[in-house]
Amino acid sequence: MRFQTICVLGLGYIGLPTASTFATHGLRVIGVDINTQIIESLNAGQVHIYEPGLRTLVQAAVKSGNLTIQDRPAPADAYIIAVPTPFREGKKADLSFVVSAAESIVPHLGRNCLVVLESTSPPRTTLDVVRPILERSGLKAGADFHLAYSPERVLPGQILRELIENARVIGGIDAESAQAGRDLYATFVRGEIILTDATTAEMVKLMENTYRDVNIAIANEFGRLAERFGVDGWEAIALANRHPRVRILNPGVGVGGHCISVDPWFLVEAAPDLARLIRTAREVNDAQPAHVVEVVRSTVGSLEGLRVAALGLAFKADVDDLRESPAIEICRELSAAGARVRAYEPYKPDAVIEGVETTTTLAEILDDADVLLLLVGHTPLKNLDPVVAAQLTAARVVFDCVNAWPREAWEHNGFHLYRLADGRPH
């Protein structure tokens, strides 16, 4: 199947790189978003997302004339739905954006078109939610148009490379739909393209992120146990990993982002009687921010009036994505406990976050602090020189939640350094 024009609905962390990549590979792409600020900024040559190389790619796509940005779909050979699927109350999947995107396609859907859902969704969303909406056009999925599910499987910070190089799973509602999906993504994908059915493809994405969530949960639980038993959890994990069949991850402040912290709940929602381990892992990781707050409290005593400099707000290192970030939750919980918290996010210094006071420079946040709290292992924060820090702040208590700062160097410069998951006496 050949494609000349495609329409990408949702210009976020996945939709914008996908649309731009298709455009720079010769297809005419209509990028659609309902956020007028995003449309205006992209049309002005500005990119609202931090991702290495993305600005250059988007500008090249727009300059080529192949990528246009607008607020509604138009006739195309293929439609890709890449909109958010956040939570609603009770940790249930909010499919309202998927529903709205599918409804907006209906007036333009033609015979032999391909529609691909990329948004992470509970099993059977493609069959039970998207298909009936699209069939309001009077066309039948499979008989008159193709319908498939293909999950994004990329790592923030490496999206542009992994979009092209990673294996791509495409699940069709029938074999012809899957093959049409292969024809579309073969435009730029160099990794293996594997065909399956739509529900299996949905399940694959959820399994991948749930597997990672469960492994993070055991690492966080090992960290808590190390604190209880007076053990350096980082050393214990490193030693356990010397076993040829053991690969324990590092503990941290929790799990964030729009994938790992969200996707497992879709399986719990779909099969609560079966997903017992998955639920427990989610509860462990969701409780980790509160545990970090308790570690700080147990070390310094009362949090009332304590001036905390929180370093890093993104959900993971070296990205600007603040979605579902445990670092932000920690800041809010510290504030609720009476601390005065100010936060600095080097990759989004001008971020406005409800309930969190932010600063635009590192020097500003260090100048007025009793405690430094390293929450995210951003490269510029990991590389903070304790000699410089000692000159910029009167604080002499630091909490390293990501095992990034060398204890000897910091303590040599007059700091008392505490680490998450380290129960050794100080």
Q: Give the type of residue at 41.
A: S
- Tell me whether residue 103 is in a domain: yes
b vs e for 102-111, b when ≥16 Cβ sit within 10 Å of the residue's Cβ? bebbeeebee
* Same domain for 329 and 190: no
Q: What are the residue ranges in the chain where pLDDT is below 70?
A: 426
b vs e for 276-306, b when ≥16 Cβ sit within 10 Å of the residue's Cβ? eebbebbebbbebbebbbebbeeebeebeeb
- Tell me whether residue 375 is in a domain: yes
* Same domain for 325 and 191: no
pLDDT digits (tens, 9 = 90+) for 283-320: 999 999 999 999 999 999 899 999 999 999 999 999 88
Task: Quote the pLDDT of residue 257.
Answer: 83
* Same domain for 161 and 305: no
Task: Quote the pLDDT of residue 209.
Answer: 94
Task: Quote the pLDDT of residue 323.
Answer: 87
Question: Which among 178, 196, 214 is the end of a domain?
Answer: 196
For residue 312, give its domain range.
288-419
Tally Cβ neighbours within 10 Å of residue 11. 27
Question: Which among 151, 179, 196 is the end of a domain?
Answer: 196
* Same domain for 317 and 172: no
The answer to whether 205 is a known catalytic residue is yes
Question: Which among 140, 167, 196 is the end of a domain?
Answer: 196
Q: What is the CATH number of the domain that holds 375?
A: 3.40.50.720
pTM of the model: 0.89
d(CA 128, CA 113): 19
CA distances from 103 to 134, 137, 252, 288 (A): 7, 9, 40, 39
Task: Quote the pLDDT of residue 103.
Answer: 98
- Tell me whether residue 28 is in a domain: yes
* Same domain for 298 and 409: yes
Strands 357-359 and 416-419: unpaired
* Same domain for 181 and 326: no
Tally Cβ neighbours within 10 Å of residue 133. 18
- Tell me whether residue 241 is in a domain: no
- Of the residues 259, 331, 382, 401, only one is catalytic, namely 259
* Same domain for 146 and 26: yes
- Tell me whether residue 236 is in a domain: no
- Tell me whether residue 237 is in a domain: no
- Tell me whether residue 371 is in a domain: yes
8 three-class SS: strand
* Same domain for 293 and 185: no
- Of the residues 7, 113, 205, 401, only one is catalytic, namely 205
- Tell me whether residue 322 is in a domain: yes
* Same domain for 134 and 13: yes
* Same domain for 180 and 298: no
d(CA 252, CA 260): 14
* Same domain for 76 and 183: yes
Task: Quote the pLDDT of residue 1.
Answer: 85
**Among 260, 223, 380, 264, which residue's Cα sits nearest to residue 317?**
380
The answer to whether 7 is a known catalytic residue is no
Q: Give the type of residue at 178.
A: A
* Same domain for 189 and 293: no
Q: How many domains does the chain have?
A: 2
